[in-house]
Amino acid sequence: MTQILQADADGIARAAALLRDGRLVAFPTETVYGLGGDAANERAVAAIFEAKGRPNFNPLIVHVASPEAAQALVTWSDAAERVAAAFWPGPLTLVLPARADAPVSHLARAGLGTLAVRMPAAPVARALLDAFGGPVAAPSANRSGQISPTCAAHVTDGLGGRIDAVLDGGACPVGVESTILGLTGLPTLLRPGGITEEALEACLGRRLVERRDTEAVSAPGQLHSHYAPRARVRLNAADWDEGEARLGFGAVECDLNLSESGDMTEAAANLFAFLHRLDGSGAEVIAVSPIPHVGLGVAINDRLNRAAAER
Ligand code: TXA
Ligand code: MG
């Protein structure tokens, strides 16, 4: 049985108590719902992999309540200080060298010497992290390879019965996962996301290194058919074929429009929810309008390309 907890003081206290007990609680962040477990507790972390059906080599993001809490886990740097000052709390994850004594399960790190840390902005996430008082490991709260959840119902659709509770804080405003910035060497974009590459480059005063797809890096993009709906996905659809579920962008006739006005922020917030809905319609193909490759459009296209990848 998966309990649905309201995101009020009682629900948050209950969720924190479950985490202390080594249980799994899905909670809302500004990006997507995370499947949280006590990052220091190997069994809780193992249960996350188990519930998601996720391959064990994929390391997890550790969520913290403050930059100071992050500094207890990783070796901080000037670059980390700069981007954290500019974008935390918010949809930015930093990969840094793990401290030897960091109280984080090895399974969560997938055996790597680095750790991904993030301070989320959503008030419910922050209240939960404060109430729990330690780092929380949380991948997106979906079965491995499926679409990321942006509301509590998406979580129960995929993980109902497999996790202890969902803290229901409504819809996630950003709608795509955090940007992952590697800071173990030259600043490297490991995954595009809620903070744009341009904004990071402006903050750091230098270009980011792009992770090349041929490199063996443990970022989510490795798995080609990530974020996959059941339906086949057809990208850059200039017009629609008979029987397709039509996911539009801009001034087009369609079933669901990511943003009629062409607003990338609105489109990102709608992306996963609309893929879920069109997938649920039973159509064999979801056709998607072209999305301009600018700003958040880079992250949106990244997710769409994965959804459309051969599998
Ligand atoms: O917005 C988000 O980031 C959401 C919410 C819940 O915070 N979380 C999320 O987690 O997207 P997840 O587990 O679905 O994606 C995290 C990705 C993993 O696929 C992993 O490859 C990468 O972060 N990652 C984690 N630790 C890493 C590390 N040490 N080095 C490189 N990549 C890492
Ligand atoms: Mg995910």
What are the pLDDT digits (tens) for 16-70?
999 999 999 999 999 999 999 999 998 898 889 889 887 656 789 999 999 999 9
- pTM of the prediction? 0.86
Which residue of 146, 180, 213, 225 sits with most ligand 1 atoms within 8 Å of its CB, as the best mutation to test the pocket? Answer: 180
The Cα–Cα gap between 171 and 242 comes to 32
Q: For residue 242, report the distance from its CA to the centre of ligand 2, in Å.
A: 32
- Does ligand 1 come within 6 angstroms of the Cβ of 219? yes
Q: Which of the ligands is closest to the CA of residue 303?
A: 2
**Helices 264-280 & 152-159 angle (0-180, nearest 10):** 40
- Does ligand 1 come within 6 angstroms of the Cβ of 61? yes
The two structure tokens encoding residue 137: 């490991």
Domains (range + CATH), the chain = 3-210 (3.90.870.10), 232-308 (no CATH)
- Does ligand 1 come within 6 angstroms of the Cβ of 34? yes
**Contact of 297 with 264, CB cutoff 8 Å:** yes
pLDDT at 185: 93
On the CB side of 264, CA atoms within 13 Å amount to: 16
Q: What's the average pLDDT block by block, 10 residues per block, for the chain (311 residues)?
A: 97 98 98 97 87 77 98 98 98 96 86 92 98 97 92 96 97 95 95 95 95 49 62 96 97 97 87 89 96 88 87 70
The two structure tokens encoding residue 71: 């500094």
pLDDT at 233: 96
Nearby residues of 103 by Cβ (< 8 Å), 6 or more positions away:
39, 40, 73, 134, 135
pLDDT at 112: 82
- Does ligand 1 come within 6 angstroms of the Cβ of 137? no
- Does ligand 1 come within 6 angstroms of the Cβ of 96? no
Which residue of 154, 177, 189 sits with most ligand 1 atoms within 8 Å of its CB, as the best mutation to test the pocket? Answer: 177
**Long-range contact pairs involving 220-225 (C-beta distance under 8 Å, separation at least 24):** 220/58, 220/177, 220/180, 220/191, 221/190, 221/191, 221/302, 221/306, 222/58, 223/55, 223/58, 223/145, 223/306, 224/306, 224/309, 224/310, 224/311, 225/145, 225/306, 225/307, 225/309, 225/310, 225/311
Environment class of 22 (CB within 10 Å of its CB; exposed 0-12, middle 13-18, buried 19+) = middle
Q: Are strands 114-118 and 61-63 parallel, antiparallel or unpaired?
A: parallel
* Closest atom, ligand 1, to C-alpha of 120: 7
- pLDDT digit string, tens, across residues 119-134: 999 999 999 999 999 9
